[in-house]
Amino acid sequence: MNDSAKVNSMPSIEDQRKEARTWAQHFRNAGYEISFQYTGQPEPFDREWQVWTPGGKGQRIGTIDIDGCGASWHGESETWLAIIAPHVDMIN
């Protein structure tokens, strides 16, 4: 694949879901509670991973879903930067 094709191509739905699952696992590894939910939205946007503060009765602090381009975090930017950013290749 040439470089322009790489830039213009979209990841597959399965690749986007894999990225979202990976992000959820990073939160789980950091001690956060994760719950998987079906959203009732049409495919492929029909699922999300809810992220809760550690400790069983924590507060929901965000969600992870896919947006057509990859995984998407809906929560405080600082939380994403602390938990996910160290694992993401920001250059590619």
**What pLDDT does 2 receive?**
45
**What pLDDT does 75 receive?**
96
**What pLDDT does 7 receive?**
53
Question: How far is it, in rounded angstroms, from Cα 40 to Cα 79?
Answer: 26
Q: Which residues contact 61 (CB under 8 A, 6 or more apart)?
A: 32, 51, 52, 53, 75, 76, 79
Residues with pLDDT less than 70, the chain: 1-8, 56, 90-92
Q: Where are the domains of the chain?
A: 10-85
Give the pTM.
Answer: 0.83
**What pLDDT does 90 receive?**
64
What tens digit of pLDDT does each residue of 4-13 get? Answer: 444 568 899 9
DSSP assignment letter at 59: -
CA 87 from centre of chain: 12
